Structure 1
Amino acid sequence: MRTLLIMGAGGSGRTTLAAATALTAARSGTRTLLLGADPEDTLGAALGVATGPAPAAVEPGLTAWRPDAARGFRDGLAALQDRAASALGLLGAARLDPEELTPLPGAGELALLRGLRDAALAEEHDLLVVDLPPAPAALALLALPAELRRYLRRLLPPERQAARALRPVLGRLAGVPLPTEALYEHAARWDLELAAAEAVLTDRNTVVRLVAEPGPAGADAVRATALGLALRGLPVERLAANRVLPEDTPADGWLAGPVAQQRKTLEEWQGVHDVHPVPHLGRDPRGTDDLAALALPGVRPDTAPVEWPVRDRLAEDGVLVWEIPLPGATRDGLDLVRRGDELAVAAGPFRRIVPLPSALRRCTVEGAALREGLLSVRFAPDPRLWPGER
């Protein structure tokens, strides 16, 4: 199954173009699921068919679904209370009834991740189109599974689970309580669920389609979002330039200025992205006829994955070079910190901690350079760890 993540700033028309893209794919014979996260039924408004917690058939080959964050939060907390019933009883804590629970901030994002995972595991569709939240929240959401898994591994290292049988004895000998069996079981279950969501996001068949309205604000949003996606290693399949005004707009009218701005921005984008102009219909698109008139293309089958190669320059310079593409990054907004076998990379407002490739773990960092959107980090072999010549 292919996964197409639709991403753009708030107000860019992201949800409308997600619906139009899914409709185009379905009408071409691709079994398509359109997944949304907005608690308001903006997807239904665009499609002309109400959507909700139960998958709804829009037309043959197209299903739309908005997971219920409130229901997922209630069910998850109720299950947690059931598993921790004995501990809650010892503490004298009163159970919370499902009727009094309201979802906390972030519940919607977690519901979308679960929906993403469930749709991939079901294997009932050929294409999954995901209408993500506005770009800043979407980038944080895409980072969530990997970051939470990293926290779990640090707090409850898997190698310590080998001592499960000895934990009660060790606890008595040490005189301090040790993590219980249930805690490790919960951590393993969370790790499995997060791993399934992360597998979808990191799959080679997962790509991003950016949506932006050409103009100064849209150009800024595209630059920032493209940098965040590059740091996550997610490839941009296409840039949909939304609400493009007709080229034959009279030069002496009030629209002449916006048309000139759009033309300038489109020329800049075409030098970097595969740009698909989406015409302005003169109204807000509503229903499948309007969505079809937008003529959104299908998913590009030849989108290249983002790669961070390690170049062997030992013979020439005595170093290995890790090349990290970061389009739009600046030296002032760049920061690198090595911590053990991990490298923390910060570019502008975005940050990611990545494990070092095995060869680089036996090296020391010698320096880094940023040129034309490519970060090159130089590593020199550590004589104490690097295999000697025979």
Structure 2
Amino acid sequence: MRTVLVTGPGGAGRTTLAAASALHTARGGRRTLLVTADPVPGFPRAAAGEDVEVTAGLHHVRTDSAAHFRAELTALQDRASGVLDLLGAHRMDGEELTELPGAPTLALLHTLHRAAAGDWSKDLYDVLVVDLPPLAEALALLALPGQLRRYLRRLLPPERQAARALRPMLAQIAGVPMPAQWLYEAALRKDGELAAVEGLLRDRSTTVRLVAEPGPAAEEALSRARTGLALYGLGTDTLLANRILPRHSADPFLAGLAARQDACLEHWRADPAPPAEIAHLGRDPRSLEDLLLLGEHCAVDDRAPGRADDPWWTEDTGRAEDGGRLLTWCLPLPGAVREELRLVRRGDELLLTAGEFHRTLRLESALRRCTVSGAALTDGVLRVRFTPDPDLWPRTR
């Protein structure tokens, strides 16, 4: 299934262009599912969390974070009933539960899992278009499945489930209840859901489509975003430059705005993948006809731009001064600033910070037997140098 994740700076019209992308793709004959958090003007209304047919080949699902939060917390109370009763806790009814910050993000991840599993159709869709939150929140969301899986493995290691037969005896010895089996089962189930979402995001047919209204603020936001997307190993589909004003307006005010847009577009057009320019309709889109007017270049291509499963690579860079081999791990980080980079080696992992973005990377087997001997950022590529540890990687004559 081809997946396109649509995001951009707040107010750039990403929901509108996500809907236009889905509509044009369906008109091209491919079964398309659009996922949004907000209603789309011109689309039929439906209960949140349920799919509705918009037109032939196009279905729409709207996430419901409040309902998802209530269902998850109620189910957690039911599974933990024994522990709650032991503590004398009072359960909360679904009607009194109010969603907490972060609930929309978890609801969207749950919806992505359902979409990947084909919950709304007997046959999987050909194309999945997802309207993500604004850029900063979207990048945090795309990194979340991997982060949560790492936390679960650290807090509830799967191998500890093998000792479940000993828990009653351990409870008597320690005098306190041991973690219940439901806790490990819940962690395993959540890990499976997160793994499915992570697999969807890492799939070669998944790309990010950026939507921005030309201007200095958008240019700066997109530059930061490209660093985050590269760090998380995600490829970009295209840049949709939205609400382009006429360049030869008789109105001095509009002519000035158009000139500022054009100055920004000149930078974007110089990119190897120039943007698709979407003309301003002169009004807010309110119907399917308006969405179709936004241009057929919104349609999703049959195939994603080719990208490797792993966007990073390792180079054998010769010999060190003492004769040992040197290996270099190359990580493309376009837009990264040297002063904002931070590297920490911890065991078999490398903790990498690039500005506001953070990721924990597991080293390849060959690099685990090496020590970090240096790093440099050159032409948008971070090169981390490794020297083999002679105790772990004996030299050969």
Fold equivalence (TM over 0.5): yes
DSSP-derived class of the 2:339 partner: coil
Separation in 2, partners of 1:179, 1:147: 23
Equivalent residues of 1:4, 1:206 under 8 A apart: yes
2:253 is matched with 254
2:284 is matched with 284
2:44 is matched with 49
User: What amino acid is aligned across from residue 263 of structure 1 in structure 2?
Assistant: D
Separation in 2, partners of 1:52, 1:136: 28
2:266 is matched with 267
2:130 is matched with 130
1:66 and 2:67 are equivalent in the alignment: no
Separation in 1, partners of 2:113, 2:106: 11
Aligned counterparts, 1:69-88, within 5 A: 69-88=65-84
Deviation at 1:315, TM superposition (A): 5.3
1:196 and 2:192 are equivalent in the alignment: no
Q: Would you say how many aligned residue pairs link Structure 1 and Structure 2?
A: 384
Unaligned runs of 5+ in 2: none
Task: Give the alignment's TM-score, normalised by structure 1.
Answer: 0.93
Equivalent residues of 2:239, 2:276 under 8 A apart: yes
1:305 is matched with 307
Q: Which moves more between the two structures, 316-325 or 64-73? A: 316-325
Identity percentage of aligned residues: 55
Separation in 1, partners of 2:350, 2:27: 45
Separation in 2, partners of 1:302, 1:90: 53
Separation in 1, partners of 2:340, 2:23: 40
1:24 is matched with 24
1:343 and 2:347 are equivalent in the alignment: no
User: What amino acid is aligned across from residue 312 of structure 1 in structure 2?
Assistant: D
Q: Deviations over 1:84-135 (max 9, x none)?
A: 1222222222221111112111111111111111111115311110000111
Aligned counterparts, 1:1-390, within 5 A: 1-38=1-38, 41=39, 43=40, 45=41, 47-53=42-48, 54-122=50-118, 123-173=123-173, 178-250=178-250, 253-272=252-271, 273-297=273-297, 298-300=299-301, 301-305=303-307, 307-314=311-318, 318-389=325-396
User: What amino acid is aligned across from residue 221 of structure 1 in structure 2?
Assistant: A
Equivalent residues of 2:248, 2:255 under 8 A apart: no
Separation in 1, partners of 2:171, 2:214: 63
Separation in 1, partners of 2:177, 2:369: 37
Deviation at 1:314, TM superposition (A): 3.6
Q: Deviations over 1:333-379 (max 9, x none)?
A: 11111111111111111111111111111111011111121111111
Deviation at 1:331, TM superposition (A): 0.7
DSSP-derived class of the 2:252 partner: coil
User: What amino acid is aligned across from residue 23 of structure 2 in structure 1?
Assistant: L
Deviation at 1:9, TM superposition (A): 1.0
DSSP-derived class of the 1:161 partner: helix
Separation in 1, partners of 2:366, 2:215: 45
Separation in 1, partners of 2:296, 2:374: 45
DSSP-derived class of the 1:249 partner: coil
Separation in 1, partners of 2:81, 2:173: 28
Separation in 2, partners of 1:134, 1:143: 14
Deviation at 1:173, TM superposition (A): 4.7
Separation in 1, partners of 2:353, 2:369: 23
DSSP-derived class of the 1:254 partner: helix
Taking a change above 3 Å as real, the CA distance of residues 65 and 354 of structure 1, as seen in their structure-2 partners, is same
Deviation at 1:161, TM superposition (A): 2.3
Separation in 2, partners of 1:137, 1:207: 17
Equivalent residues of 2:207, 2:304 under 8 A apart: no
Equivalent residues of 1:17, 1:296 under 8 A apart: no
Taking a change above 3 Å as real, the CA distance of residues 171 and 91 of structure 1, as seen in their structure-2 partners, is closer
User: What amino acid is aligned across from residue 328 of structure 1 in structure 2?
Assistant: G
Separation in 2, partners of 1:76, 1:158: 22
Separation in 1, partners of 2:161, 2:368: 25
DSSP-derived class of the 2:289 partner: helix
User: What amino acid is aligned across from residue 100 of structure 2 in structure 1?
Assistant: L
Task: Give the alignment's TM-score, normalised by structure 2.
Answer: 0.92
Deviation at 1:13, TM superposition (A): 0.6
Separation in 2, partners of 1:229, 1:294: 26
User: What amino acid is aligned across from residue 253 of structure 2 in structure 1?
Assistant: W
Q: Deviations over 1:63-101 (max 9, x none)?
A: 111121111111111111111122222222222111111
What do you get for the CA RMSD once the two structures are aligned?
1.9
Separation in 2, partners of 1:316, 1:310: 16
Deviation at 1:171, TM superposition (A): 4.5
User: What amino acid is aligned across from residue 348 of structure 1 in structure 2?
Assistant: G
Equivalent residues of 2:215, 2:261 under 8 A apart: yes
Q: Which runs of 4+ in 1 moved over 6 A?
A: none
Equivalent residues of 2:350, 2:362 under 8 A apart: yes
Q: Which moves more between the two structures, 327-336 or 160-169? A: 160-169
Separation in 2, partners of 1:325, 1:377: 11
Q: Deviations over 1:25-64 (max 9, x none)?
A: 00000100000123xx2x2x2x343244221111111111
User: What amino acid is aligned across from residue 132 of structure 1 in structure 2?
Assistant: L
Unaligned runs of 5+ in 1: none
